[in-house]
Amino acid sequence: MTVELICVGTELLLGNIVNTNAAYMSEKCALLGLSMYYQSVVGDNAVRLKALLETAKSRSDIIILCGGLGPTQDDLTKETAAASMGLSLVEDQRAREELVRHLQRLRRPITENNWKQALVPEGSIVLYNANGTAPGLIIEGEKNTLILLPGPPNELIPMFENQVYPYLHSRQPEVIYSKMLKLCGIGESMAETEILDLIEKQENPTIATYAKTGEVHLRLTARAATEEAALALIKPLEEELQRRFGTKIYTDREDVTLEEAVASLLKEHHLTVTTAESCTGGLLAGRLVNVPGISEQFKEGYITYSNEAKEKLLSVSHETLAAHGAVSEETALEMAKGCQKAAGADIGIGITGIAGPDGGTPEKPVGLVYIGCCCKEHSYVKRFCFTGNRSKVRESSVANALTLLREAVLNEVAP
């Protein structure tokens, strides 16, 4: 079955926003085993949208249109799609009720043009929208199916996840089953080298690798007639990858982030952590606090950007700073020890480095970062030379600090 995307919105043609919806939906469609040959973007213009939709109908089975479902005169995706399928618009009672409820919750008045959003093409499947005023729609025709979705990602993603994905899945004769293994503490090329033999002979299941900052994700995908059969195809491959990568795999769940995996590990072993950050200036703590409910494990953190703050808050010794400099193995370790003690935590992490663009020297270039970790009685320190701009160096530092924290905990609790 083929699927095609049409994103409607002048803001995309003007480059005001990046089309993340297209990447999101394309990845999901690929996961379902649907073939996508075309994506298009068109503005809020009835004539051009109609022409594009007719072309799409002639070459693809399913057409997903996103954007242009709002209440204003500009928004004409629904009207154009209904006309193209020969359907008139009728009011949907529940859509009207949800619209009223949603606007009341936001304490926004209902304006005359809002009512337009309760109209749906007759006979269509209505996808009610918990996060906005525009319902999504599925219009099943003889030859084509049109799926209309709201443009804002916070409305589109939950609607796709909960309503469109299951619908598309039910129309696929084959089952596609996919599993994600997420790795840290290994680079993409190293990870690929380790499994080159598996990639070269792959057919079903397949392995796709994705490089993320400080992480590598591996997606295993199998097609089969039933879910059991697909699972059975994936299982031996997954076991082989588990054998090869061991504890470098921090999760086998698509929706778990590195900070969530680290937080679970800390919780499981009743360990508390604290942070002392220089060049990252709070971003490591910020990522830990991404995890709701981290408060039992992470109670406080320190940002010590100046040398004085390192001495005052973390008791880094003046001599260490003078002899080795703020960006050194010794300072990173004393920062880790200092915050561990000051916070009374089981684990302290210290990060110090040169994020650039200025401040580099031949001996200590931009991108040089030391990360120290004191986990109870054990100490670790690592040296990194990251590439990229200031923001990339800082992001890489944070990902590698989470990885070092994880390794320290695994060492501590190893039997």
Question: Which member of 1, 2, 39, 87 binds a second copy (CB under 8 A)?
Answer: 39
> Which residue lies nearer to a second copy by CB, 116 or 219?
219
Residues composing the chain? 415
Q: Is 282 in the site for a second copy (CB under 8 A)?
A: yes
Q: Which residues contact 192 (CB under 8 A, 6 or more apart)?
A: 199, 209
Alpha-carbon dihedral sign for residues 4, 8, 14, 17: negative
Q: Is 312 in the site for a second copy (CB under 8 A)?
A: yes
Task: Say how many CA atoms lie within 13 Å of 221 toward its Cβ.
Answer: 17
> What is the size of the binding site for a second copy (CB under 8 A)?
75
Q: What is the DSSP letter of 269?
A: T
x-or-dash pattern for a second copy, window 8-37, by CB under 8 A?
Answer: ----xxxxxxxxx-xxxxxxxxx-----xx
User: Considering only residues 328-387, where is the footprint of a second copy by CB under 8 A?
Assistant: 343, 355-359
Q: Is 74 in the site for a second copy (CB under 8 A)?
A: no
Query: At 284, is the secondary structure helix, strand, or coil?
Result: helix
> Which residue lies nearer to a second copy by CB, 59 or 171?
59
Q: Which neighbouring-strand residues pair with 184?
A: 215
Q: Is 101 in the site for a second copy (CB under 8 A)?
A: no
In contact, 112 and 126? CB cutoff 8 Å: no
Rg over alpha carbons for the chain, rounded to the nearest Å, is 26
Report the candidate in 267, 269, 262 with the shortest Cα–Cα distance to residue 285.
262
Distances (CA, A) of 167 to 82, 107, 117, 285, 327: 20, 33, 22, 40, 55
Q: Is 301 in the site for a second copy (CB under 8 A)?
A: yes
User: Considering only residues 145-184, where is the footprint of a second copy by CB under 8 A?
Assistant: 154
Question: Which member of 304, 320, 396, 397 binds a second copy (CB under 8 A)?
Answer: 304
User: Considering only residues 211-270, where is the footprint of a second copy by CB under 8 A?
Assistant: none
CB of 77 to a second copy, least distance (A): 16
Considering only the stretches 80-88, 92-100, 118-126, 294-302, report the one whose residues sit in contact with a second copy under the rule CB under 8 A.
Answer: 294-302
Q: Is 57 in the site for a second copy (CB under 8 A)?
A: no
